[in-house]
Amino acid sequence: KKSPSFPPPNHAIMRDSLRKNMMEGLRFQVDGEAGERLDRVLHARLNGISRAAVQKAIAAGHCRIDGLAVVSAACKVRRGQMVELDLPRADSPLEAEAAELEVLFQDAHLVVCNKAAGLTVHPCPSCPEGTLVHRLLHHFPQVRQMEGLRPGIVHRLDKDTSGLLLVALDEATRLRLAEAFAERTVAKSYLALVQGTPPPTGTCREPVGRHPTVKVKMAVVAESRGGRSAHTDWRVLWTAADRSCSLLLVRIHTGRTHQIRVHMAHLGHPLLGDALYAPPPVRARAPRQMLHAWRLEFTHPWSGEPMRFTAPLPEDMLACAAEAGGCTRRLVVTGNPGCGKSTVCAALERLGVPVISADAVVHELYAPRGLMARWLGERRPDLLAADGGIDRSALRPAMRHDPLLRQDVEAQAHELVRRRITAFWEQAEARGEAVAAAEIPLYFECGWQKDTFTPRPLSLCVTCPVDLRRRRVMAGRGWSAEHFDAIEAWQWPEAQKAAQSDRILANTEGVGSLDVQLEALLKGIVQDRDERRRLLRERWQTLLAGLA
């Protein structure tokens, strides 16, 4: 953005006069102001000094009338009286901190900066140090002349919200900007990454107030119960392929605490990563609430020039959206009996990838007191072993001779396994794992490659010639050739599975070859994530360029 050519000379003179007044005091004889309150008269003569600051100076004994100290701001002045005011410097008690501050624009009056997520704007009891104000004191020492713990601050962003913040560098500018915010002539637009897919455009006017029981939260509260009017508009800019999240352009017409977060949660589309207002699965999808103050529009308080700024897209928001279901890339390892799925999964674990086995989950379900054992025991107690677990040697022939029994057992077991695998992936996402794998032999036979998991995982089919697979299971598991052929007949042919899979891994040359292939596969998956992020950045930048 181009810096305007200002301040004009009269503003510079006003500023110098103000500085002189603050340093050397003010002395004048009452004339046309006779009958007015003392604080009003002083405030009118000290442009750029708040009336509250004048009242504090009077109460502190810094004002004299005809040589006598006056401590009442409400006293009326009379014609001919000599009024003197010593207005000391308002040096801030805060210590400057030499830390990074991304400044997008600055002139003699104001600064527009891009606040990083995780940075508190001004000191408070829970955060007395390390705030944006402390950094301002280092980069712009002149703000020390303003009073209080929020020098120059005219609006705020939540600690974990990134983006544009407007700061005044002197008291006169702060007062003018504060008036502009109060009159709602400052336009603020945000980018928000929310759960699901809201309507293309919408408005929420629900009043916002303090939560009735949780004091750190806000909520939709009726105005009759203390809520204040709030107005939020949104427009959907982008929706993930799996429709699990959407990018919104949000315009707020009021500035209530947590307004966007409260309104979107109220509408059923909480912000990803929002620790206060999103349910745990949505909270786990991002490291912070995905909210970015993207655009700021206002009129310069002295030059009158329209000002318009946009902040760069934050990397964590791009990364979150690029995954569309979390930061973890989900991988399914499948294949036919004896292909080496378990060997591949063991190799993945050696490479640091968390793995869950559907067969291991089934083993737990079939064990004594397992959910499947209890379920089947109520229907076919003859299929239970003496210890109360399911007798697989009895179950297999029973399922071959009774298709309805097989259908019921598979439906029940598959649903329980699906839930466990989904929970495993969600936990991996919460931990920030790059990749997490699930060994699912019947992935395609169950129809899980369609819409069972969101986002859809990558599928890896482990292949091996059928004769070699038969020899492996007969030697390693003690299967007969007939039993192998029966199990094989229940599953898709290997060629069909391979054709439906995203990746294929040939397991014919031993464990060493598997490790090499898997390292290359994992590297490709990570690079694919980076590529998705790059493409998404380009797409979003194109979308926003038409709006900026």
Q: Where in the sequence numbering do the catalytic residues fall? A: 158
Q: How far apart are CA 268 and CA 308, in angstroms?
A: 32
Tokens at 56, concatenated: 């504090």
Phi-psi group of 10: left, alpha or beta (phi > 0 → left; psi -120 to 50 → alpha; rest → beta):
alpha
Max CA separation in the chain (angstroms): 118
Contacts of 155 (CB under 8 A, 6+ apart): 165, 166, 181, 186, 188, 255
Q: How far apart are CA 536 and CA 316, in angstroms?
A: 12
Contacts of 474 (CB under 8 A, 6+ apart): 480, 481, 484
The identity of residue 528, as a single letter, is: D
The identity of residue 366, as a single letter, is: Y
For helices 466-476 and 481-490, angle between their N-to-C axes, nearest 10 degrees: 120
CB-count exposure of residue 502 (10 Å: 0-12, 13-18, 19+): middle
CB 433 within 8 A of CB 329: no
Q: To which residue do tokens 């064990």 refer?
A: 367
Q: How far apart are CA 272 and CA 279, in angstroms?
A: 9
**Residue 229, CA atoms < 13 Å, CB-side half-sphere:** 3
Q: How far apart are CA 197 and CA 235, in angstroms?
A: 11
The enclosing H or E element of 69 equals strand 68-70
CB 157 within 8 A of CB 120: no
Phi-psi group of 504: left, alpha or beta (phi > 0 → left; psi -120 to 50 → alpha; rest → beta):
beta
Identify the CA nearest to 302 among candidates 4, 1, 2: 4
Query: Which of helix, strand or coil describes residue 227?
Result: coil
Q: How far apart are CA 427 and CA 101, in angstroms?
A: 35
Our CA angle for 176, 177, 179, nearest 5°, is: 65
CB-count exposure of residue 164 (10 Å: 0-12, 13-18, 19+): buried
Q: What does the DSSP 8-state code read for residue 376?
A: H
Q: What does the DSSP 8-state code read for residue 74?
A: T
Name the β-bridge partners of 190. Answer: 250, 293
Our CA angle for 133, 136, 140, nearest 5°, is: 145
Q: What does the DSSP 8-state code read for residue 85?
A: E
Q: How far is CA 373 from the centre of its chain?
A: 42
Query: Which of helix, strand or coil describes residue 366?
Result: helix
